[in-house]
Every structure is written in C-alpha cells, then in structure tokens.
Amino acid sequence: MADNINIMEELLHKNPLDLPVVGEDIQGKVLDIGTNAMYIDLGPIGTGVVLGEELHDGFGTIKTLKKGDEVTATVLTTNTTDGYIELSLRQASEDKVWEDLFAKQASEEPVDVKIIDANKGGLLISINGISGFLPVSQLAYDHYPRVDGGDKTKILGRLKEYTGETFRVAIINVSREESKLIVSEKAARKSEELNLVNSYQKGDTIDGEVTGVVDFGVFVKFGKNGQKLEGLVHISELSWQLVENPRDLYKEGDKVQAQVIEIVNGKVSLSIKALTEDPWNTIAERFSADQLVEGQVARMNHFGIFVQLDTEVRGLVHNSEIEKDRPKYTELKEGTTAQFKILSVDPQEHRISLALA
C-alpha cells in the first residue's frame, strides 16, 4: 500500500493539475443551459457554472450557445459549496471587447455604435456593452445641432432625437482603467471626406443647400456621387453690400450656388457674391462727390445711418456727421426716404459717405 501511495505522489508531482486562479480566462464545453445557469465541462479540473447576470455579455453570447459548443469564461471563485468552479461569460466578454476597442483605435477602423441617450455635451453611446461618449464637437456636419443663438435647451432637444439610431464612428480615446471611451463621427469620415475635398479646387462652382444660418455666415451642403461636404460662406462673402444679419438673406433649405475660394486643412470656404458682378466696379458711373441723391434709411446703429441708394449699394451717414447737426436727423427712422449729399466715394473700400442734404 505504501508503495502505491508513493507512486501516486510521484505521478502528481510529475503531472500536477493545472488548477485555475480567480480572474483567469479558461475554456470548456457547454454541458447544459438552463433558465438562469449554464454548466461547462472543464475537463480534469472539474465543472464550471455560470449564474444569473454573469450569463449576459455585450455580444449576446448566451443566445447563440448550445450543448457541446466551446466557450471561454472568467473564473470568479474556485470553491463553491456545490463543488463547482464559478465562472462569468460577462467578464470574459468584457476583456475581449476592451481588447477589440484598443485594436480598432490603433487601426483607425470605423465601428457602428448605438445612441443610448444625450446630454448637453453630446451623445451617450454603447459598443458591445461598453458605455462611451460622442461629443458634440465630434459630430459630422449632418448631425451637428445648429441652433439660433446657441440655445442649450434646443441643442439638447436636437441631440435627443438621435436616441436609438446607429452612427459610424472612430475610436479616439480609450482607457479601461478610467472606464473611458470617446468616439468621433468626424474622424470616421475623415478619409472619405478628404478624398471628396481633394476633388475640388479654387474657382470651382458648386450647387448646394443651406444647412445652417449663424451670425457669422451660412453653412452649405454640397457634393458629388452621393457623397456630401459642408462649406462655409462667411458673412463677408454673402453679398457685395454690407450684411449685418445673414438670416435676412437665407434660411435652412434654401438652394444656392457658390464658388470655392479656399481649401485649407480639409475645410472648404465658399463665396456667393463671387458669382455676381461687383457693383462697385461701375460705381463712379453712377455716383460722385457733391451729388444729391435720394435714399431710404435701411438700418440705424452705433456706426451711424445706413442708406440704401439702389438695389445693390448702400451709403453711410457716419456718427460724426450726425453729431454736427443732430436735430436735423431726429425724424429719420428705418424706412424713411430723404435727400442726401454724397461726401465721398471710395470704390476700393466699397464705401460711400453721406450727409443729409
């Protein structure tokens, strides 16, 4: 008997059981799947059991498994009262998901994410059970919430409309230790949009649609072959005459034609006025110093009084002129028509200086 015990000890010493440790991922075959438990054959080390919420992972693995399938699970405990090794599909899956996220960040491979909710800073997303964030600044032009006056409540309302939708994004920041996952829709479209941008050059004419009107200009969507870009028409490029509020000229949905005037770092600048003749080129043929003209007060502000002289040209009664004889100007208001004297004409600066006649 003593000899047999010595032989067993020697065999175990030569071929010890490779017992798992907590946190280790191990493989086995599915023995049985119940409503709230799954049993896994782990070979010589015993039988594993996956219970409750540990059955459910971001990939929905439990829905695809059947008896005999190979499966990977993470060890939670090695000593249960029933003699089973307790395992987790959820934790093993989470390991794979984080590894996949790091790999996709490195390769810059786009991924599809579901929009779960929104806050004032952006969209809450999920990738295979891992929560993340898509900042407003990283949204593509067609999803960017342009709101008059930047009203935060309206912006949040626009963002919440995307809940339940799927966006294609690139991973730009991932950290498992900090449970951080930041994605960008703009980055996912970068190479696609760059190719489209490179197909345009300065001087090209585009047909587009107004997608947003802001204080500093108008955003226009345009493109070719089913692909779209967005360019900006700065307020100074909307018209040859002074524009104080772009909303006086355009609204979302308007169809416009514009010229490409600059492409810098993938951003396209457009001009609407470049496609029309500059009326100031022939201004000397119509207006000259000391001439008396009739004009309509178009706007009054801290600079002075802007006067519409014809459909294309405005003149300015500067505040310095008003101060010389303020009582003379008290009855003027927007829409008033009066006689004015031209003090000077400067075609290069697009400026006509006026005074009441």
The pLDDT of residue 162 is: 95
Q: Are residues 269 and 295 in the same domain?
A: no
What amino acid is encoded at 326 in this protein? R
Q: Are residues 42 and 85 in the same domain?
A: yes
Q: What percent of the chain has pLDDT over 70?
A: 94
The pLDDT of residue 2 is: 45
Q: Are residues 112 and 184 in the same domain?
A: yes
Structural domain contains residue 229: yes
The pLDDT of residue 93 is: 73
DSSP state of 148: G
Structural domain contains residue 157: yes
Query: Please, what is the Cα angle at 26 between 22 and 28, to 5 degrees?
Result: 135
Distance CA 77, CA 261 (A): 67
Distance CA 212, CA 29 (A): 57
Q: Are residues 221 and 267 in the same domain?
A: yes
Q: Are residues 113 and 166 in the same domain?
A: yes
Distance CA 102, CA 95 (A): 11
The pLDDT of residue 272 is: 97
CATH number of 179's domain: 2.40.50.140
Range of the domain at 269: 191-275
* Domain end (from 230, 259, 275): 275
Torsion angle defined by CA atoms of residues 100, 101, 107 and 109, in that order, rounded to the nearest 10 degrees: 100
The pLDDT of residue 18 is: 67
* Domain end (from 260, 275, 290): 275
The pLDDT of residue 343 is: 96
The pLDDT of residue 5 is: 43
Distance CA 296, CA 306 (A): 9
Q: Are residues 285 and 241 in the same domain?
A: no
From the first residue on, what is the mean pLDDT of each consecutive set of 10 residues in the chain (357 residues)? 45 55 89 90 90 79 86 84 85 80 90 93 89 93 78 90 94 91 90 83 95 92 87 94 87 95 90 93 92 94 90 91 90 93 92 94
Distance CA 21, CA 205 (A): 67
Structural domain contains residue 103: no
Q: Are residues 131 and 83 in the same domain?
A: no
Q: What percent of the chain has pLDDT over 90?
A: 51
Asked whether 140 and 183 are in contact (CB, 8 A), the reply is no
Structural domain contains residue 5: no
Structural domain contains residue 301: yes
Pairing verdict, β 25-33 and 47-51: unpaired
Q: Are residues 34 and 65 in the same domain?
A: yes
Among candidate residues 213, 211, 215, 216, the one with its CA nearest the CA of residue 228: 211
Q: Are residues 305 and 244 in the same domain?
A: no
Structural domain contains residue 227: yes
Structural domain contains residue 242: yes
Structural domain contains residue 99: no
Q: Are residues 317 and 340 in the same domain?
A: yes
Q: Are residues 287 and 324 in the same domain?
A: yes
Please give the tally of structural domains in the chain: 4
Q: Give the global pTM.
A: 0.53
Asked whether 247 and 213 are in contact (CB, 8 A), the reply is yes
The pLDDT of residue 206 is: 96
* Domain end (from 188, 218, 243): 188
Find all residues with CB under 8 Å of 202, minimum gap 6, and list them: 260, 261, 262, 263
- Alpha carbon of residue 49 to chain centroid: 44
Q: Are residues 286 and 347 in the same domain?
A: yes
Distance CA 210, CA 166 (A): 25
